[in-house]
Amino acid sequence: MQPSVLLLIDVQQGLDDPYWGKRNNPQAEQQMARLLAAWREKQWPVVHVKHHSTNPKSPLRPEQPGCQIKPEVQPLPGELLFTKTVNSAFIGTDLENYLRENDFSKLVVVGLTTDHCVSTSVRIAGNLGFDVQLVADATATFERTGVDGQSITAEEMHQIHLASLHQEFCTVVTTEELLTTLSLLNK
């Protein structure tokens, strides 16, 4: 059976900066780490994606310490890492070529943030024909202000974006569901 590629998007220290506002799913990094450990154990393909912001105010500018990947999911030597400057992990990177050349058609996506880089990458992956699972509790986002001035909590933002993505661009799953499937595969 062909393995799924675990794609970790923008799990960077600078996303802990108060600049971004309040977040949901504080346990998301722990769930990502559980999945990453399972993938490494199986020697399945792992791809890290890191954002190099071009916005002068962003904590994710390449020269900022916040650009570093969080310790929970630090890449190991030999694991693939793509850097990007826009939301989509497929624009300005070699990700699509890498997947096609290796005949990888299935992706499991985790990372930050649900409605910006994760959503954009999942949409493009789905539209390019990849079979995508998005892990609800291994992603998270921030509160935002609506164009009509209303406050939107991070959790509302997260849930509504999952609803738009599910069964249109991907299948939304949980870490537990995925790990259960993997443990059945081991038997």
Residues forming the site for its own copies (CB under 8 A): 86-88, 91, 115-116, 119-120, 123-124, 126-128, 136, 144-148, 150, 152, 156-157, 159-164, 166, 168-169, 172
Q: Closer to its own copies by CB, 4 or 88: give it.
A: 88
Q: Closer to its own copies by CB, 45 or 53: give it.
A: 53
Helix ranges (DSSP H) in the chain: 28-42, 95-101, 119-127, 154-165, 175-186
CB of 98 to its own copies, least distance (A): 18
CB of 76 to its own copies, least distance (A): 29
Separation CA 69–CA 53 (nearest Å): 14
CB of 41 to its own copies, least distance (A): 28
Contact, 12 vs 52, CB < 8 A? no
Q: Closer to its own copies by CB, 163 or 185: give it.
A: 163
Q: Closer to its own copies by CB, 73 or 89: give it.
A: 89
Q: Closer to its own copies by CB, 69 or 91: give it.
A: 91
CB of 177 to its own copies, least distance (A): 12
Look at residue 92 and give its three-state secondary structure. Answer: coil
Please give the structure tokens belonging to residue 36.
Answer: 């990453």
CB of 40 to its own copies, least distance (A): 28
CB of 71 to its own copies, least distance (A): 27
Only one residue has tokens 């769930």, namely 31
- The DSSP bridge pattern shows strands 131-140 and 80-84 to be unpaired
Q: Closer to its own copies by CB, 39 or 142: give it.
A: 142
Please tell me the total number of residues recorded for the chain in this structure: 187
Residue spans of beta strands (DSSP E) within 12-74: 46-51
CA 158, chain centre distance (Å): 13
185 residue type, one letter: L
Task: Evaluate the omega torsion of the peptide bond into residue 83 and state whether it is cis, within 30 degrees of 0.
Answer: no
